[in-house]
Amino acid sequence: MTSRTKKLKMDQEEKLKEEQNKKETLDDSETSGEEQEEDKKRKPVVKKAPSKKAPAKRAPAKKAAATKKNNKEEEDDEEIDEKDNEEIDEKDNEEKEPATKATSSSVSIATDNFEEPKVEENSQMKVISWNVAGFKSVMGKGFNEYVEKEKPDVLCLQETKINPSDINKNSMPKGYEYHFIAADKKGHHGTGVLTKKKPLSITFGIGIAKHDNEGRVITLEYDQFYIVNTYIPNAGTKGLLRLDYRIKEWDVDFQAYLEKLNKDKPIIWCGDLNVAHTEIDLKNPKTNKRSAGFTIEERTSFSKFLEKGYVDSYRHFNPGKEGSYTFWSYMGGARSKNVGWRLDYFVVSKRLMDSVKTSPFHRTSVLGSDHCPIGIVIDLN
Look at residue 164 and give its three-state secondary structure. Answer: helix
Q: What are phi and psi of 346, to 5 degrees?
A: -120, 105
- Omega cis (within 30) before 117: yes
Report the binding-site residues.
Answer: 131, 159, 272, 274, 370-371
Burial 268-281 (b: 16+ CB within 10 A, else e): bbbbbbbbbbeebb
- Enter the DSSP assignment of 52: B
Q: Active site includes 325?
A: no
Which of these, 254, 271, 234, lies nearest to 158 by C-alpha position?
A: 271
The single residue of 77, 81, 272, 344 carrying the catalytic annotation is 272
Report the binding-site residues for Mg(2+).
Answer: 131, 159, 272, 274, 370-371
Q: What is the largest CA-CA distance in the chain?
A: 95
- Backbone region of residue 90 per phi and psi (left: phi > 0; alpha: psi in -120 to 50; beta: other values): beta
**Cα Rg, the chain, nearest whole Å:** 24
The single residue of 189, 277, 362, 371 carrying the catalytic annotation is 371
Q: Active site includes 166?
A: no
Q: Active site includes 272?
A: yes
The single residue of 146, 222, 231, 257 carrying the catalytic annotation is 231
Q: Which residues contact 319 (CB under 8 A, 6 or more apart)?
A: none
Residues involved in catalysis:
231, 272, 371
